[in-house]
């Protein structure tokens, strides 16, 4: 394929991304993640993944998309906004903003399927797969490679015009495209995220998941939360946004325009007492299609009891 056709196909990919309301679209060559390999090895060796044992699986596929999608030539990275200022009452136990509405896996997966279909219709026979936080894909590494931001000291991808309140998704395809180059790191000397983390989960550019409030309230399935977390949860019952809320780059975050991410009306009215007395029926109603279902009723009540212990 000549350079003119590759450029034309790349523009078509980005045009489809815009039409489907993705914030940004970047392209990387599907290749081995040489820089990330030793970092991932060391992070796992330290046990920083806690009980997320699945992080130890498919090591080769995490680092080389061609092992995940045979014949892959390009990784198309996409950002989708979820930021909202329509938050819960101050006194209520808190849920991370990304989980206010319908589960992003369903919302974005549908868009990705449409993306892939439109790409095939306009360019021809293309093989590949779509991903949104659902396979051994190092999404932040690929988004960084494609110029969609840098990975900050809080280990989140940060875009210089949007902050970090967005989901990352990928198409890994066998179509050659023009790669975008990475941008520089603009964290500078700022350490607000590290200083603000109540459980000291963050070091510069590294996270110890075992200490992370998001890990403890979502990933950890133990009947009780670690004793070290007592008095340090800052009223978070599902996830945590602290390291994003204090990040200066998030002053650029804009309200999302996705109806599916609108919060259930009860989220904006329930106070501390309502959450303590939450029944399984009410849980199922509020979180019927929400990411919060991942922690189940028993897990959410465990978290709420911990906040009041």
Q: Cite the active site residues.
A: 133
3-state secondary structure of 157: strand
Put the strands of the sheet holding 128-131 in their side by side order.
24-29, 74-81, 166-173, 128-131
Cα→Cα distances 92→89, 134, 237, Å? 6, 30, 10
d(CA 108, CA 98): 13
Count of beta carbons in the 10 Å neighbourhood of residue 258 = 18
The phi-psi region of residue 163 (left if phi > 0; otherwise alpha if psi is between -120 and 50; otherwise beta) is left
d(CA 233, CA 181): 39
Cα→Cα distances 134→27, 138, 197, 257, 291, Å? 20, 11, 27, 24, 13
The answer for residues whose C-beta is within 8 angstroms of residue 293's C-beta and 6 or more apart is 103, 287
| 170, containing H or E segment | strand 166-173
Among 307, 308, 130, smallest CA distance to 213 is for 307
The answer for residues whose C-beta is within 8 angstroms of residue 238's C-beta and 6 or more apart is 94, 95, 96, 99, 217, 218, 292, 295, 300, 303
């Amino acid at each position: 394929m000549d350079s003119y056709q590759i450029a034309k196909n790349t523009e078509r990919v980005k045009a489809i991304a815009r039409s489907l309301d993705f914030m940004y679209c970047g392209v990387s060559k599907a290749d081995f993640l040489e820089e990330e390999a030793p970092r991932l090895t060391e992070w796992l060796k330290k046990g920083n993944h806690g009980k997320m044992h699945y992080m130890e699986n498919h090591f080769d596929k995490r680092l080389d998309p061609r092992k995940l999608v045979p014949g892959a030539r390009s990784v198309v990275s996409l950002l989708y906004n979820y930021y909202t200022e329509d938050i819960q009452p101050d006194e209520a136990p808190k849920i991370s903003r990304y989980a206010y509405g319908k589960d992003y896996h369903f919302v974005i997966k549908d868009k990705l399927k449409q993306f892939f279909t439109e790409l095939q219709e306009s360019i021809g026979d293309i093989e590949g797969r779509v991903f949104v936080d659902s396979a051994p894909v190092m999404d932040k590494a690929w988004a960084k490679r494609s110029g969609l931001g840098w990975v900050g000291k809080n280990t989140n991808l940060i875009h210089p015009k949007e902050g970090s309140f967005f989901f990352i998704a990928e198409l890994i395809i066998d179509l050659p495209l023009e790669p975008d180059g990475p941008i520089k790191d603009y964290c500078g000397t700022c350490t607000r995220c590290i200083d603000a983390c109540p459980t000291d989960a963050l070091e510069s550019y590294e996270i110890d998941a075992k200490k992370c409030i998001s890990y403890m309230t979502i990933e950890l399935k133990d009947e009780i939360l670690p004793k070290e977390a007592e008095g340090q949860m800052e009223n978070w019952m599902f996830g945590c946004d602290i390291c994003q809320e204090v990040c200066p780059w998030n002053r650029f975050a804009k309200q999302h325009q996705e109806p599916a991410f609108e919060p259930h009306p009860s989220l904006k009215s329930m106070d501390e007492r309502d959450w303590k007395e939450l029944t399984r029926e009410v849980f199922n109603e509020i979180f019927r299609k929400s990411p919060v279902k991942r922690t189940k009723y028993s897990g959410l009540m465990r978290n709420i009891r911990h906040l009041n212990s």
